[in-house]
Structure 1
Amino acid sequence: MIIGSTTGALGTVRAQIHLRQILNSPGISALILPGNEVYITFIHEKINKAGELIHEPTIQILDRTMNNFIDWIGKNKL
């Protein structure tokens, strides 16, 4: 699963696209759940001083995404 965060608006989009291409390349062919990308923007506004995520909508997105990923992995075990 690929997740990224940034203090800006689109900081991990390109990195995630490139990483997905690498992981899908011949010789690697990693199992990657399509359409389950997570881009957390303006992360500095969503964490507390201890670095803990406190932004409830983002927490809900991560929970849903992780559940999708766990279900998918369970169905695609090698």
Structure 2
Amino acid sequence: MNLTIEIENKEDYPFIKELLERLEGVKIIQNEYDTIEGLPAYVFEQVEKYGESLKDEDVISKENFFKLIDEEICKLNSQK
């Protein structure tokens, strides 16, 4: 069984770790990076960096996006 514990106060970590290590069969796997919604913060930083590098000609409008989605749905439905 896996259990994830998120500790907001880093000063509590040694205490929590010591308590858990007293339990038989418990392994502590520490996340060495900050996370946002379960993903490493650097992932969001890289996505933001990529987003800033995009130009207008690199993106499509919302209407064109949904048009492409509709076309793909039609293709998938016709294969049934």
TM-score by length of 1: 0.30
The answer to which structure, 1 or 2, has the higher relative contact order (CA under 8 A, 6+ apart) is 1
Query: Relative to total residues, which structure has the larger helix share, 1 or 2?
Result: 2
Larger Rg: 2
TM-score by length of 2: 0.30
